[in-house]
Chains A and B, each alone.
Chain A
């Protein structure tokens, strides 16, 4: 009798809490060839690893903004209808794009757009009563910003980070100017990618987001060890 009643309990279908991440990816001319190919393979790995966790697949929301000759929010939902103002999709409906490389490196403008997208996404969550985790701002470049005013964009990102509005990760590839990348975060040094280990990098990123998206109030979401970074020999 008792068992029957306990089994009769029905649960509320609340929306899953969301963990938004914007990937700001350098697609300037210097990424041409092997680097862009490896980056594309890295995005495939990101897709595979996120979908491997059923909860992360429902909770992690991905947007990609590229900067190479211009700044562009990518359609990563695989559907014809695309709103560049709301380019986020949950991982379960993520379609990794195949990126091409060309042009200069408007990193500042990309950072500004990425930040705006995250802020807007949070507003949408609030309006819809959806809980969310701190958004991730993930910046990857093999060079340095070529747009005037990038310093202003970098300081906006640092301020948002200081307000706990965003988690910032910057990764430099090959000849990247690590000093300039460092200006996008006041809390975390940029890391240098070991060779073109994009697949390791994106595997780590998906595991980190999976960990965060599983965390409960009061939990520390431990990030997996970084195996993809080059040893820093600048000191």
Chain B
């Protein structure tokens, strides 16, 4: 079928690197999981669901690969929303701030972590009134930490709020 070959050859390859990375990460995890499951035991009690499902999952990831290499030819609904540089940086900044907040809860203290996180997110969100940021971060820290201290039966390590 020369025409179809020609048609296929004429398709421009455009790689969506983010999507490729996502697919590769899922495939790597699934492969590792399959190896891990098989290393534990080959008994049916261990592999009954996981082994066939992992293989099906890997096959589906292979099936999605052509979409990764034809970014431009995909229907609009399957294309990721375009993000300008400031928007992407805001999202990455929020993710990083959240990760640091979770680390800070246990490494520094719940109160300090909430204060810094609230302060940072307001800045990332575009708030520039320093007095408002300070008041909001302080109030949200006190209300959230004290409120959850009343509800949660576990110790919440704090620097100032006891």
Report whether chain A binds chain B: no
Question: B: which residues have CB within 8 A of A?
Answer: none
Question: A: which residues have CB within 8 A of B?
Answer: none
